[in-house]
Structure 1
Amino acid sequence: MDMFINLLIMHENYDQVSLPPFNSIKIPISCDMSMKIIEVIKKFDEITHDRKALYLREEDAPRRPRSNDAMKRPLSSSLVLESDVFGRDEEKRKIIQLLMSHSEKENIVIPVVGMGGVGKTTLTQLVYNDPEVCQHFSLKVWVCVSEQFDVLRITKEIVSSILDSSKYNDNNNLNYLQCKLKDALLNKKFLLILDDVCNERVDIWEALRAPFSGTGVRKIIITTRSISVAHIMQTVSPL
């Protein structure tokens, strides 16, 4: 035997369910199914009663990691197993030519753009460790930027890589750190790698690169998945 039940009436004691206006939902279902639904609703009512009795709040519950947290991009370093890399000689040669062919006083930013996993980081690692590049640049720094473009963190990592890290690890004064960085780069040939950049704000990029102005030869290679990021930061066409 089929019967009509009104879902709103059955939910009248459950304050967590948002339902349409009265009598707006009537569904033909069997008696057995209606009894199962009633039992489920009773259980929800019991849970609601217990939650109120124990003064439990949503913010008291442990937070499960967000899906994007669980899929965080892996960190990178400048080290690479060159024996495991094939087919990047032409791209590597193009980047090294860009690094070497510009005038001694010209500062360039070279974006390497592509989807995740295509080999941007590996290609940049090959360039970073190339003997010609190592001989040409007196200072080299690798920073894995990843999802958050934190100017203070990135500046601190650059300073700590060039100078005595113990003096600057706990210093959060951006002005002081950038002044120290500018002094350290004066008349030096400097190569900076910014791996996995996501930032699309021009003002944040300008804040980071402020210490590099007028310091000598500065070359920056960025890797990014976004052509928009490349256009913001580039001084030459993206690879």
Structure 2
Amino acid sequence: MGLCGVTQRFDRVVRPETTSLLNETQIFGRDKELERVLGCLIVPRNSKRRRETCSVSALRSNHLGNGSRISSLRVLPIAGIGGVGKTTLAQLICNHQRVRSHFDLIIWICVSDDFDVKRLTKEVIQSCTGKEATADNLNTLQEILSNYVNNERLLIVLDDVWDDALKKNGQCWKRFCAPFRSVQEGSLMLVTTRCPKVTEGMCTMEPVILEGLNED
């Protein structure tokens, strides 16, 4: 019929905003994927908080003074088709006791197909402080954010990311990530996406690919 494949888009009215709170009371069939992500987060099996960091070579970090800073934030995509459970897995991770006791900050941002660097930066600042960011200059916003996350062990989740994030040859993505260079070693960004381009363009480690659940 001459039809051409196009990337489906979701209006925010149709695609509701997600949060870090679990919608489900029980999660089935994702134990393997959960353990894989916990391993990538380098979360201790003992829930007691531990401040020691992992090897420099594993995280490609730079050491500054007495603290451990990173040269670039690790990015782990959780990829799969729509409805397969990417958001639910990310929620499960954010609410896991070992994760919550391990990280100083856990931030959840629902992105969808509007990757506006200024808007997202404001939302991250609001998540850190509980207050709306009033500045409208991107440089000011990024300096504020960099100060808030400075030397903090951070887990940030970007839920439902589309290839719009890689526009302008990836400059928008790089600009958004710039303030996170001041976070502590061991920090990580989880990105949920159904777009192969996002998985390939953002990952710094092997992505977690979610398949459909077994019949049982």
Q: One fold, TM greater than 0.5? A: yes
Cα deviations by residue, 1:88-137 (Å, 9 ceiling, x for unpaired): 11111100100117547453100001111000000010011111110110
- Which residue in the other structure is 1:19 paired with? none
Contact 1:109 1:221 in 2 (8 A): yes
Unaligned segments of structure 1, at least 5 residues: 1-66
Q: Tell me the amino acid that sits aligned with residue 209 of structure 1.
A: C
Q: Tell me the amino acid that sits aligned with residue 33 of structure 2.
A: E
Cα deviations by residue, 1:206-225 (Å, 9 ceiling, x for unpaired): 01000011432331000001
Q: Number of paired residues?
A: 171
Q: Tell me the amino acid that sits aligned with residue 18 of structure 2.
A: S
Q: Tell me the SS of whatever aligns to 1:216.
A: coil
Change (3 A) 1:180 1:71: closer
Contact 2:104 2:154 in 1 (8 A): yes
Of 93-102 and 173-182, deviating more is 93-102
> 2:129 aligned with 1:160, yes or no?
no
Q: TM-score scaled to structure 1, two decimals?
A: 0.66
Q: Considering only aligned residues, what root-mean-square deviation do their CA atoms show, in Å?
A: 2.0
> 2:13 aligned with 1:76, yes or no?
no
Q: Kindly state the Cα deviation for residue 171 of structure 1 after the two structures are TM-superposed.
A: 2.2
- Which residue in the other structure is 1:112 paired with? 78
| Equivalent residue in structure 2 for 1:185, among 126, 144, 149 | 149
| Equivalent residue in structure 2 for 1:213, among 177, 181, 199 | 181
| Equivalent residue in structure 2 for 1:229, among 191, 195, 198 | 198
Of 193-202 and 114-123, deviating more is 193-202
Q: Kindly state the Cα deviation for residue 164 of structure 1 after the two structures are TM-superposed.
A: 4.6
Which is higher, the Rg of structure 1 or of structure 2? 1
Contact 2:152 2:184 in 1 (8 A): yes
Q: TM-score scaled to structure 2, two decimals?
A: 0.73
Distance 2:141 2:78 in 1: 28
Structure number with higher relative contact order (C-alpha < 8 Å, ≥ 6 residues apart) = 2
Q: Kindly state the Cα deviation for residue 68 of structure 1 after the two structures are TM-superposed.
A: 5.5
Cα deviations by residue, 1:126-173 (Å, 9 ceiling, x for unpaired): 01111111011011100000110010111001001112514x1x3211
Change (3 A) 1:83 1:70: closer
Distance 1:133 1:173 in 2: 33
- Which residue in the other structure is 1:194 paired with? 158
| Equivalent residue in structure 1 for 2:104, among 128, 132, 138 | 138
Overall identity of the aligned pairs, in %: 39
Distance 1:146 1:70 in 2: 8
Unaligned segments of structure 2, at least 5 residues: 1-8, 44-53, 62-69, 209-216
